[in-house]
Amino acid sequence: MTDVDLTDPGGYRHWVAETVRFSDTDMVGHVNNVAFAAYVETGRVAYGMALASEAFDAGTRLNVVLRRLELDFVAEAHYPARLRVGSRLLRLGRTSYTIGTGVFADDRCLATSVGVLVVVGPDGPMPIGGRAREVMTAALP
Amino acid sequence: MTDVDLTDPGGYRHWVAETVRFSDTDMVGHVNNVAFAAYVETGRVAYGMALASEAFDAGTRLNVVLRRLELDFVAEAHYPARLRVGSRLLRLGRTSYTIGTGVFADDRCLATSVGVLVVVGPDGPMPIGGRAREVMTAALP
Amino acid sequence: MTDVDLTDPGGYRHWVAETVRFSDTDMVGHVNNVAFAAYVETGRVAYGMALASEAFDAGTRLNVVLRRLELDFVAEAHYPARLRVGSRLLRLGRTSYTIGTGVFADDRCLATSVGVLVVVGPDGPMPIGGRAREVMTAALP
Amino acid sequence: MTDVDLTDPGGYRHWVAETVRFSDTDMVGHVNNVAFAAYVETGRVAYGMALASEAFDAGTRLNVVLRRLELDFVAEAHYPARLRVGSRLLRLGRTSYTIGTGVFADDRCLATSVGVLVVVGPDGPMPIGGRAREVMTAALP
């Protein structure tokens, strides 16, 4: 992943809009880090749903579990602000995949995140195969 | 309800402990009002579950919907703090009931809340009858 | 306030956009009531700031405290969704004012809220006078 | 850090109690990952305040910024539950330090977290020296 710069808005494949809520701030006066976890989840899940809609028949039920989350805080955010959250696929494993996410005010990066997700079936982690693997491979950097 | 003082900790029948989280604060420097909505929900739901465990056989599935929420802010809270949330039944209607909740630091009231809940079955609001009505009537002021 | 229908989007004077976050949902499967408290705060504070920018010189520091919050839940919200939050002034008292807020998916009302705010100075509640009273009076229904 | 097992409750030096709130759950039916970010912050900040009270004179104002947050999800949490959050110092740099945190139900680990914090003065990152370095060095594994 050394060759991917998550602070560069140009590399993202999927975007969602976010609004900083007053309750996202904390007593330090800026947006609390917990709100950033919520921002990146909103982007990551929306991108996952977009990929899944290509990879699976409608109605397919998938259980995707967040195994690991990393957040790097680049700059403070304040209320009020409109943000945008970009997402991209970074890695594809046998039963897991890694999504990179960036939180931006216009083109200024405020935070980046890496989320490792595992596809889980009734018997535990489930290999990502068939059309899902094709769709996700095509989305890799 | 004019005869019930929700700022009096003596009137509550059920208590839960709460911890003020750093992320509950806002840029004003105190605990944000949205966190109080979370505190009173934690108490209200726990009390509802306690009543339901008396009123219904184990495994009974109930759909209870919050129709209305009132919050009165009495005093500020700050981080860090331990709180306790008291709940009591205030009113029992045909298909709805009203729970009063108070948020306290020791015996000092920080906020009170009134929540109106409706029991919903497959065909809409469902009359509260039988053992449920007996249990709830016994819990009224 | 009997003559104001807060479920009618036509009556609002100020709007903000909101995004339902995945973390706004709860185990019932819909958007949790606490998230609605956050949505209406975002709208209410933004409208308050808009009014204040007309009523006060830049840099004036005001302390506005939420004294009471009412929320009426009209319909469920689900993830994902874009929402819009409308705000309007409902009442103007000597030291307090009341803002009505509505949460909408397009023109469909999901929840309404009434917030009572008190202007507080160094010696407690502070009369709303001068240009502030003029601006706010002009914004009344 | 290879020699520190953050899933072992025995290694923590500071504990806080947490309550799972109903609003911490999400539509998957378990506690959402964003709530874990709030749990570990509550523990991490409380431990940081405990260290600071030893290291600095009362009233010293410090600006500590979260630069990076890692969360590893070990097991699901559900509502209702009481949790406890343990914290310990993992590393001490010139201007930064690293706190490890674990979220437990009794002795069962649900999640671990690593937070990298930077001490910031008026001119940017500020060396950790004097009594602060002594206190923190004594707290290292």
Residue D27 to residue C32, Cβ atoms within 8 A: no
pTM: 0.95
Which chain A residues are closer than 8 Å to D71 by Cβ?
Answer: 68-70
Instruction: Determine the Cα–Cα distance for residues C73 and C58; give it in Å rounded to an integer.
Output: 37
The yes-or-no verdict on residue C1 having pLDDT over 70 is no
Q: How many other C-beta atoms lie within 10 A of the C-beta of residue D110?
A: 20
H/E element holding B113? strand B108-121
DSSP label at A107? T
ipTM at complex level:
0.94
Residue A68 to residue D65, Cβ atoms within 8 A: no
Which chain C residues are closer than 8 Å to D39 by Cβ?
Answer: none
Which site among A31, A63, A73 would you substitute to test the D interface, given the most D Cβ atoms closer than 10 Å to its Cβ? A73
Residue D69 to residue A73, Cβ atoms within 8 A: yes
Which chain D residues are closer than 8 Å to B39 by Cβ?
Answer: 21
Q: Which amino acid is at A44?
A: R
Domain made up of D9-139: CATH architecture? Roll (3.10)
* CATH number of the domain located at residue range(s) A9-138 in this protein: 3.10.129.10
Beta-bridge partner residues of D105: D108
Report pLDDT for B58. Answer: 72
The yes-or-no verdict on residue D2 having pLDDT over 60 is no
Task: List all chains that touch chain C, counting a touch as 3 or more CB pairs closer than 8 Å.
Answer: A, B, D
Percent of chain B with pLDDT over 90: 82
Q: Which bin fits C59, alpha (ψ -120 to 50), beta or left (φ > 0)? A: left
Which site among B20, B22, B23 would you substitute to test the A interface, given the most A Cβ atoms closer than 10 Å to its Cβ? B23
Contact D95, D126 (CB under 8 A): yes
Q: Closest to D41 (Cβ–Cβ): which among A33, A41, A72?
A: A33
DSSP label at A24? G
What count of Cα atoms within 13 Å lies in the side-chain half-sphere of residue B106? 1
Residue B41 to residue D19, Cβ atoms within 8 A: no
H/E element holding B52? helix B33-55
Task: List all chains that touch chain D, counting a touch as 3 or more CB pairs closer than 8 Å.
Answer: A, B, C
- Shortest distance between the Cα of B27 and any Cα of chain A, in A, equals 4
Which chain A residues are closer than 8 Å to B38 by Cβ?
Answer: none
Which site among C27, C71, C119 would you substitute to test the B interface, given the most B Cβ atoms closer than 10 Å to its Cβ? C71
Residue A37 to residue D41, Cβ atoms within 8 A: no
For chain A, the domains span 9-138
Could you read off the pLDDT of C64-81 as tens digits, one per residue? 999 999 999 999 999 999
Could you read off the pLDDT of C80-116 as tens digits, one per residue? 999 999 999 999 999 999 999 999 999 999 999 999 9
Q: Closest to A22 (Cβ–Cβ): which among C45, C79, C80?
A: C45
Find, in chain B, the residue whose alpha carbon is nearest to that of C116: B72
- Shortest distance between the Cα of A80 and any Cα of chain B, in A, equals 11
pLDDT averaged over every residue in chain D: 93
Point out the least confidently predicted range of B51-60, D9-18, D101-110. Answer: B51-60
Find, in chain C, the residue whose alpha carbon is nearest to that of B38: C34
Could you read off the pLDDT of B31-84 as tens digits, one per residue? 999 999 999 999 999 999 999 888 877 777 778 999 999 999 999 999 999 999
Instruction: Determine the Cα–Cα distance for residues C121 and C140; give it in Å rounded to an integer.
Output: 24
The yes-or-no verdict on residue B104 having pLDDT over 90 is yes
